[in-house]
């Protein structure tokens, strides 16, 4: 028979440990301090050989091990005894649950740089391994095993001014809207910010848009669109909504933990160091995390997302990154009150020190629409359009005579618009998807005024911390952190 520790047989029989390590792509350039996860299901001499094999590699220093389960099968339950037998510090699980906290304690105590998993079923199943991965990646190090490796996303340390990151747990959760709200707030309070955004339609080279100088109106964006510019790209939307300098970057691909395959955001960050701004806001794209080290982070959670995507996989990793956690879309039909409570409780468990605020989005017209008949285009679900229409009419003194929720579907958008354009005075639209090349273009050709609208986050009730104060406190904290480290 063949001895197996954390690895099965190949089609050719036993795989030599060193060859197995090569196949697992464990290639490190310098001495790396490693923590091994082991279990009592394995016969001790097998575990010993696996650890000795790792320790025998020139670039590996196994600094400790955690028995994460199966210790009831061990002949001796003494940590001292097994530390002596394995020749490294050993910690045991204190109960039947996986000792996630002990893993983190060992990482910090021994300055561990990577965690290698030598355990197996039945001690670890897939959900437990993802939970370990989240804990390990939140420590800024890698988690790997015989056929997998998870690493924290790249964080280039290039910023020469205070900065924050706005990241999300997924796509279509209102990240650009929240970023616009935060950017305006920071600018209004005298911090002189710029925004660096990456998107899947971003420019080949980082592009500066002087939102603080340009008159970015419907005609301007339509002209940009005719030139071939993606005029609804995130940095254009940021410039329009926030009226501050923005830098547009591109990205391709999004890894499970937020890494991107290709991006020019590092160039964008260096450009942000040179522009006339005192504070930088880095905006993620979907669940992809900006690859720039910043002083503080805000995590956005879409309450409309499947709960398992937040509580499993790398949802907990992203949630744990934010000093401020904002839940968006906290209303029916996107989510129930019970789901909001469940998410909030999970966030408090994973990230107990974070400020948590649950919000809904409400439209804000960027120009005067009072007394006008409005055709309103939005990305919001059909079920909430009534609330948005009532909010517009109550707060902006207009009359909404028609709506469409098809900004991402050009044929349906045109079909809906044609029903109401003869009656409308104004086309009010979010700057999303077909807002420029269809909504703006067709409305102007029909003689309508075009006004863009933002979506602002509003706490669902008065029990939450003040959103404005929470953001400004985070900004002040980021500035303090930057000054201490510089």
CA distance 344 to 341: 5
Residue 27 has pLDDT above 90, yes or no: no
Q: How confident is the model at residue 28 (pLDDT cuts 50, 70, 90)?
A: very low
Q: Report yes or no: 454 and 241 within 8 Å, Cβ to Cβ.
A: yes
Residue 235 has pLDDT above 90, yes or no: no
pLDDT of residue 107: 97
Q: What is the pLDDT of residues 194-230, one digit of tens each?
A: 999 998 888 899 999 988 877 777 787 777 777 766 6
Mean pLDDT of the chain: 89
Q: Provide long-range contacts, Cβ within 8 A and 24+ apart, for 69-75.
A: 69/39, 69/40, 69/41, 69/93, 69/96, 69/98, 69/119, 69/123, 69/124, 70/39, 70/40, 70/41, 70/42, 70/123, 71/40, 72/40, 73/40, 73/41, 74/40, 74/44
Q: What is the pLDDT of residues 237-279, one digit of tens each?
A: 777 777 899 999 999 999 999 999 999 999 999 999 999 999 9
Query: What does the pLDDT average to over 461-486?
Result: 96
Tokens 């279990």 found at:
39
Reported pTM: 0.86
pLDDT greater at residue 26 or residue 404: 404
User: Within a 10 A sphere around the Cβ of 59, how many other Cβ atoms?
Assistant: 12
pLDDT of residue 443: 93
CA distance 321 to 296: 9
CA distance 283 to 185: 15
Q: What is the pLDDT of residues 79-138, one digit of tens each?
A: 788 888 888 999 988 777 899 999 999 999 999 999 999 999 999 999 999 999 999 999
Residue 3 has pLDDT above 60, yes or no: no
């Amino acid at each position: 028979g063949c001895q197996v520790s954390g690895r099965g047989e190949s089609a050719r029989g036993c795989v030599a440990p060193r060859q197995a390590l090569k196949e697992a792509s464990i290639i490190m350039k310098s001495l790396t301090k490693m923590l091994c996860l082991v279990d009592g299901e394995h016969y001790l001499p097998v575990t010993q050989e696996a650890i000795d094999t790792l320790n025998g590699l020139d670039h590996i220093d196994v600094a400790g091990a955690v028995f994460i389960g199966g210790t009831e099968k061990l002949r001796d339950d003494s940590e001292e005894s097994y530390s002596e037998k394995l020749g490294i510090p050993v910690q045991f699980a204190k109960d039947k649950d996986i000792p996630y906290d002990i893993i983190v304690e060992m990482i910090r105590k021994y300055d561990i740089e990577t965690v290698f998993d030598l355990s197996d079923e039945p001690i670890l199943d897939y959900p437990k391994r993802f939970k370990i991965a989240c804990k390990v990646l939140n420590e800024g190090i890698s988690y790997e095993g015989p056929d997998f490796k998870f690493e924290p996303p790249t964080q280039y340390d290039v910023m020469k001014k205070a900065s924050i990151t706005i990241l999300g747990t997924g796509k279509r959760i209102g990240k650009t809207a929240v970023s616009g709200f935060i950017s305006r707030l920071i600018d209004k309070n005298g911090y002189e910010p710029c925004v660096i955004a990456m998107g899947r339609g971003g420019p080949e080279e980082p592009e500066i848009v002087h939102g603080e100088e340009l008159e970015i109106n419907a005609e301007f964006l339509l002209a940009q669109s005719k030139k071939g510019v993606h005029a609804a790209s995130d940095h254009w939307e940021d410039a329009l909504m926030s009226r501050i300098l923005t830098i547009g970057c591109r990205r391709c691909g999004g890894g499970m933990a937020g890494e991107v395959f290709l991006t020019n955001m590092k160039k964008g960050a260096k450009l942000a160091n040179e522009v006339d701004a005192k504070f930088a806001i880095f905006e993620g794209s979907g669940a992809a995390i900006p690859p720039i080290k910043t002083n503080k982070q805000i995590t956005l959670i879409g309450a409309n997302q499947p709960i398992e995507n937040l509580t499993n996989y790398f949802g907990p990793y992203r949630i744990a990154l934010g000093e401020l956690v904002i839940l968006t879309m906290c209303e029916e039909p996107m989510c129930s009150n019970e789901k909001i409570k469940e998410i909030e409780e999970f966030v408090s468990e994973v990230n107990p020190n974070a400020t948590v605020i649950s919000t809904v989005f409400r439209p804000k017209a960027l120009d005067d629409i009072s007394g006008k008949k409005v055709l309103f285009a939005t990305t919001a679900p059909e079920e909430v359009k009534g609330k948005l229409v009532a909010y517009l009419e109550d707060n902006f003194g207009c009359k909404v005579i028609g709506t469409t929720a098809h900004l991402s579907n050009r044929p349906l958008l045109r079909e809906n618009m044609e029903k109401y354009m003869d009656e409308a005075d104004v086309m009010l639209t979010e700057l999303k998807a077909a807002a420029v090349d269809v909504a703006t273009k067709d409305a102007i050709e029909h003689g309508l005024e075009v006004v863009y609208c933002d979506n602002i986050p509003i706490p669902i009730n008065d029990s939450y911390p003040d959103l404005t104060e929470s953001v400004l406190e985070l900004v002040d904290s980021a500035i303090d952190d930057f000054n201490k480290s510089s």
